[in-house]
Structure 1
């Protein structure tokens, strides 16, 4: 019997071990909007601190995150963006500058 594909597969990669430190620029974060390309956001914000990849029905969705502390709970400023399969931002969330 073939191994069936799981309906939801999440892979979370913390980039802190790859010399990426928690960082966020709230002025730049306010410029991030739905419809921007993945490359535009990374060019604006720098490499994300967190990358999460969700797989469902053979399609993937990425979530990129920037924050000011290693722990999400300790972060006062954070930004999360969902990148759809077409490579564009489909959702922006966070509390940067609040």
Structure 2
């Protein structure tokens, strides 16, 4: 089985319709027999919002605690994309 890696950036995951498009792209490759590895960014603007929250609470965006906060954007996107891929028939 051939393995492919697909990377989706923030603007390609912004909102429901774009998440659906990305999920369909993943599904179509899987349907053709590829082993698909997906890498996602946070949805457009989310990382900036999280950095601003850290700053507003007196945190330093360069500290490890801030890394934990900002990484949640990718976690949310990965979860949402997984939900769509598992629960949508294309």
TM-score class, shorter: under 0.3
TM-score with structure 1 setting the length: 0.23
Question: Counting strand residues as a fraction of each chain, which structure ranks higher?
Answer: 1
Higher RCO (C-alpha under 8 Å, 6+ residues apart): 2
Larger radius of gyration: 2
